[in-house]
Amino acid sequence: MRFVSQLFQPLLIIPKNAKVKNTEITCKSQKLLLECGLIRPTSPGFFALLPLARRALDKLEALVKQHIEAAGGQRVSLPALTAARLWEKTGRITEELLKVQDRHGKKFVLAPTHEEAIADLLADVGPVSYKQLPLLLYQISDKYRDELRPKHGVLRARSFRMLDAYGAHTLDQATEVYQRVGDQYGRLFDTLRLDVHRVAAPCGEMGGSESHEWQVPAPAGEDHVAVCAGCGQPGGTTGSECQCGGRTESVNSIEVGHTFILGTRYSEALGANYVVPSGPPQPIVMSCYGIGITRLLAASLEALSTDTALRWPEPIAPYRAILIGPKEGSKEWSVYNSEQMLGLFDKLSSLPGLRNDIIFDDRHQMTVGKRILMADKMGYPLVIVCGKGVLETPPRLELHSRGETQLLTLGQLMWALQDGNEKVANKM
């Protein structure tokens, strides 16, 4: 897609001074994603992801894939439906699960996670050799949960996109694999420039010997994490003292990831074993790693956005840049009319950092100011505007980035965007 005028982006227009009575909109990410035409509710707890949200999610999934494969992950695809008998064997049939029955009376679970399916797969092809271990298998797919009270838009929905990865290893290998995946989680969140805290957590119904949650501080969060009021670093408990001397306080947070060392609970129940150099086969020690990808997208918006405008981690913004031309019939239009704007758009699109990542706001009947406001609400990291500066000699273009505006010649602009450093000295 090249032109804003052709986007499928049904905006939710709220008249000025109108009193909004929709109590189902409970957090700013939900409100802004709806208002900006990125998601649309289909029924309680279910949402259609529209083109701009889908682009952002594709970028986020690519980052997640990159980091889990850096940890040694191999991608698989497992059926969304898992035989209910597997969940009965592990004792995990609960009310949160969505269940179906086929015409032959066989029962299935619309799986929110696939520990049983992975253990059953390993049992079916096994026993595997100890020489094949450790293994790390992952998938990125739609998951389902029968949420009693879905809320906060895609933060707590009945259908969600998720990375689920599963380690198969010996007991001696478990900690090393767990640390390796945890390191990649940290690198992923650093790439997104999110303040994510890794905190120890109870293993709960998943079972196992070790568990950690990955929490993003945000007012809409339903969890809590202890954070130092001075340096922002996580602390052990509320009120404890950190290295900087400051004390921690409890803040709301959103869980975006969870990791477990599961032990042999699932492998023993389902017969997933490995062959050892001597003696009988042993149960595989398992670990699992989850990232709620749609939740992470919304959580990043909760953490970074204002109440009135989306703010994306730059790597997952639907488009990195938007180009805005003059209003048709204005003085500026005589310098940059439709033909010149298309030529400029093609030049910018040829830059490595903007290839397939810039969109042209070709709604020339609208004022430049209104389109800038709309671009700001959408949260495009770079807004390039042909404003009054194009009447100067030489013509200058506006570059809006990180709350600052610069007037740059075309050469300066091209240099800045190619170099990846949008801060340019105008004396160049």
- What is the SS3 assignment for the chain? CCEHHHCCCCCCCCCCCCCCCCCCCCCHHHHHHHHCCCEEEEECCEEEECHHHHHHHHHHHHHHHHHHHHCCCEECCCCCEEEHHHHHHHCCCCCCCEEEECCCCCEEEECCCCHHHHHHHHHHHCCEEHHHCCEEEEEEEEEECCCCCCECHHHECCEEEEEEEEEEECHHHHHHHHHHHHHHHHHHHHHCCCCCEEEECCCHHHCCCEEEEEEEECCCCCEEEEEECCCCCECCCCCCECCCCCEEEEEEEEEEEEEEEEECHHHHHHCCEEECCCCCCEECEEEEEEEEHHHHHHHHHHHHCCCCCCCCCHHHCCCCEEEECCCCCCCHHHCCCHHHHHHHHHHHHCCCCCCCCEEEECCCCCCHHHHHHHHHHHCCCEEEECCHHHHCCCCCEEEEECCEEEEECHHHHHHHHHHCCCCCCCCC
Lowest mean pLDDT among 47-61, 106-120, 141-155, 379-393: 141-155
The domain locations on the chain are 4-304, 319-419
Lowest mean pLDDT among 95-99, 220-224, 233-237, 400-404: 233-237
DSSP bridge pairs for 400: 383, 405
CA distance 224 to 239: 13
Q: In 3D, which of 178, 222, 206, 190 has the Cα closest to residue 313?
A: 190
CA distance 407 to 398: 5
Chain position carrying tokens 């990375």? 163
pLDDT reading at 132 higher than 50: yes
Q: In 3D, which of 303, 301, 294 has the Cα closest to residue 195?
A: 303
Asked if the peptide bond before residue 281 counts as cis, ω within 30 degrees of 0, the response is no
Q: What is the pLDDT of residue 285?
A: 98
pLDDT reading at 346 higher than 60: yes
pLDDT reading at 174 higher than 80: yes
What are the residues whose beta carbons fall under 8 Å from the beta carbon of 402, sequence distance 6 or more? Answer: 381, 422
Q: What is the pLDDT of residue 206?
A: 81
Q: For all residues of the chain together, what is the average pLDDT?
A: 93
Residue 12 binned pLDDT confidence (cut-offs 50, 70, 90): confident
Q: What is the pLDDT of residue 25?
A: 87
Q: In 3D, which of 44, 31, 28 has the Cα closest to residue 150?
A: 44
Chain position carrying tokens 């120890």? 200
What are 358's two structure tokens? 């810039």
Q: What burial class does residue 142 get, using C-beta atoms within 10 Å of its C-beta: 0-12 exposed, 13-18 middle, 19+ buried?
A: exposed
In the predicted model, what is the mean pLDDT of residues 149-156? 91
Q: pLDDT by residue (tens digit) across 37-62? A: 999 999 999 999 999 999 999 999 99
- Choosing among 3.40.50.300, 3.90.650.10, 3.40.50.800, 3.30.565.10, the CATH entry for 319-419 is 3.40.50.800
Residue 169 main-chain phi, psi, to 5 deg? -160, 175
Percent share of the chain, pLDDT over 70: 94
pLDDT reading at 220 higher than 50: yes
Q: What is the pLDDT of residue 37?
A: 97
pLDDT reading at 338 higher than 90: yes
Q: What is the pLDDT of residue 365?
A: 97
CA distance 298 to 151: 12
Higher pLDDT, 36 or 227: 36
What's the chain's length in residues? Answer: 428
Q: What is the pLDDT of residue 427?
A: 42
CA distance 347 to 14: 37
pLDDT reading at 295 higher than 90: yes
pTM: 0.94
Q: What is the pLDDT of residue 428?
A: 44
CA distance 166 to 71: 12
CATH 3.30.930.10 correct for 4-304: yes
Q: What is the pLDDT of residue 156?
A: 92
Q: pLDDT by residue (tens digit) across 303-326? A: 999 999 999 999 999 999 999 999
pLDDT reading at 302 higher than 80: yes
pLDDT reading at 408 higher than 60: yes
Q: What is the CB neighbour count within 10 angstroms for residue 152?
A: 22
What are the residues whose beta carbons fall under 8 Å from the beta carbon of 421, sequence distance 6 or more? Answer: none
pLDDT reading at 373 higher than 60: yes
Q: What is the pLDDT of residue 18?
A: 62
pLDDT reading at 4 higher than 50: yes
